[in-house]
Amino acid sequence: MKEAVAIIIFNERKDQVLLVKRRDIPVWVLPGGGVEAHETPSQAALREAREETGCSFTLLRKIAEYLPTNRLSHLTHFFEGSIVSGSIHCTEETKEIAFFPLTSLPKELPPFYLFWIKDSLNPTGELIRKKIMGTSYLHLVKFFILHPVLTLRFLLTRLGFHWNS
């Protein structure tokens, strides 16, 4: 089974979250990506965050394991991290990087990230293990209606056609 990772980075007050705008599909996302064969999910999260932001991170905790619900999703390990060194800057994979207030997240944020951000604020700190919400085919159709070009780029990427712009 293919696995993925995502990492959430808050500002010091924990009222803003770091998002990256991808180059291949210009949507705002949490840093993350696929787990390579030789990596643990923790190693993959640190690598992906570094590749997308130019910074080194430490993991503070594992927030959740999200189970796939269809072919649009993978088992995803979700972590909270903090910056250890470096300054945030765009890389080959990112078009923009910014902290956003939790109260005004960008429109181009895929729906499931809203659930994940909410889960990261869970005060119990217990590991969450549940199915990924917001990745149904109905969500994809709704996103397509609102953002047709982004959805087509996403589908082409899923079919193996990648490009950076």
| 10-38 per-position pLDDT tens digit | 999 999 999 999 887 788 999 999 999 99
State the virtual CA torsion across 107, 108, 110, 111 in degrees, nearest 10.
10
Domain covering 1-134 assigned CATH 3.90.79.10 in the classification: yes
pTM across the whole model: 0.81
Phi-psi region of 94 (alpha: psi -120 to 50; beta: other; left: phi over 0): beta
Rounded Cα–Cα distance for residues 73 and 110 (Å):
13
Mean pLDDT of the chain: 87
Give residue limits of the domains in the chain.
1-134
- The residue among 2, 8, 4, 35 whose CA lies nearest residue 115 is 8
pLDDT at 135 over 70: no
Query: What is the DSSP annotation of 42-53?
Result: HHHHHHHHHHHH
Q: Where are the alpha helices (DSSP H) in 8-147?
A: 41-53, 111-120, 137-146
